[in-house]
Amino acid sequence: MSTSLSTSSGPQARTASPDPVKPPPHTARATGRTRAWVTRAPLLPALVFLIAVTQLPFVATLVISLFDWNSLDPAERAFTGLSNYALVFTDPALRESVLTTVLLTAGVVVTAVVLGLLLALLLDRAFPGRGLVRTLLITPFLLVPVSAALLWKHALYNPEYGLLNGALTWVAGLFGDESPAQPDWTSEMPLLAVAASLVWQWTPFMMLILLAGLQSRPAETTEAARLDGAGPWQIFLYLTLPHLRRYLELGILLGSVYIVQNFDAVFTLTSGGLGTANLPYTIYQTFYQAHEYGLASAAGVVVVIGTIVIATFALRAVSSLFREEATRA
């Protein structure tokens, strides 16, 4: 009797049970937004600080770039619109500084990438003292840029007691020349002197990126190619180099972002003379020496926009690199 009752009443009980109550759609959206704001709330102080430190000065620079503003004659300040930007692209000194910036950046980045790749290939092999060699090779990148430039200016380039001229004197003495030529490196080859100091400092950066790429290679692929009879050059050309493509792009783009903005080496080694004034140094001269706040601000905005363009490609390279690593994992 009880069995029949439970059997007959079961479906009716299940039919009569009410459905779970679902909140209205607008209530669910409001709850989701509240939860998102609660999650992001701890980050708001950092966001406000970041905006105050970076974006507000940039907005001020953007506003100043629209004025003809010389600090020596502030009463003549006037709104000129985009005329300062036109002057940036037509002024001969600024055009020359743009060309110098492009040459310096391209030369330093390409040379540093090639040397960094060679050093990374060396450190990818096991040999006694590899950890010490790696630490010593990284050291130039850890130096303060001004300290590195001063080191090259006085310890290496000085025509009287610099190591380069000392090495020339020693080599010439081996061949019987007691009074060899003592070149003044920063005067006779100024742009090359600046580029050499930057290459010395940025080669370790490229080396670290490419070494990380080399150590992420799948060992079984290289071993299979070696068993199939591929030589070292073929393995490098058809396996290693394609694998390093993303790492090379990353190193080139990040190096370009930093070297485009370099000021320390130019200021310390040559003070912008002898055709070495890049765009950051020219902006410094326009602002600090000519007191042309409007023109200097316009040139600064142009540099920022160019850097943002380069950084955008760098971020895309980084994201694609991470996606590739995640897919491999």
Domains of the chain, CATH where assigned:
18-64 (no CATH), 82-328 (1.10.3720.10)
What is the average per-residue pLDDT within 104-114? 91
Higher pLDDT, 42 or 109: 109
Token pair, residue 148, equals 């590195």
What does the pLDDT read at residue 152?
92
pLDDT, tens only, 37-90: 777 777 788 888 888 887 888 888 889 888 888 878 877 788 888 888 888 888
Report whether pLDDT(198) > 80: yes
What is the average per-residue pLDDT within 227-254? 83
What gap in Å lies between CA 316 and CA 132, rounded to an integer?
34
Q: Which of 15-19, 85-89, 129-133, 236-240 has the lowest mean pLDDT?
A: 15-19
Distance separating the N- and C-terminal Cα atoms of the chain: 63
Least Cα distance to 87 among 273, 308, 290 occurs for 290
Quickly list DSSP for 7-41.
HHHHHHHHHHSPPPPPPPHHHHHHHHHHHHHHHHG
What is the average per-residue pLDDT within 149-170? 88
Report whether pLDDT(319) > 80: no
What does the pLDDT read at residue 150?
92
Report whether pLDDT(108) > 60: yes
**pLDDT bracket for residue 117 (50, 70, 90):** very high
Least Cα distance to 114 among 242, 266, 241 occurs for 241
Contacts of 104 (CB under 8 A, 6+ apart): 191, 194, 195, 198, 259, 262, 276, 278
What does the pLDDT read at residue 1?
43
Percent of the chain with pLDDT over 90: 13
What does the pLDDT read at residue 159?
85
Least Cα distance to 115 among 92, 141, 97 occurs for 141
What is the average per-residue pLDDT within 277-301? 85
DSSP, collapsed to helix, strand or coil, labels residue 78 as strand
Report whether pLDDT(13) > 50: no
Report whether pLDDT(139) > 50: yes
The rounded mean pLDDT for the chain is: 81
What does the pLDDT read at residue 40?
74
What does the pLDDT read at residue 318?
62
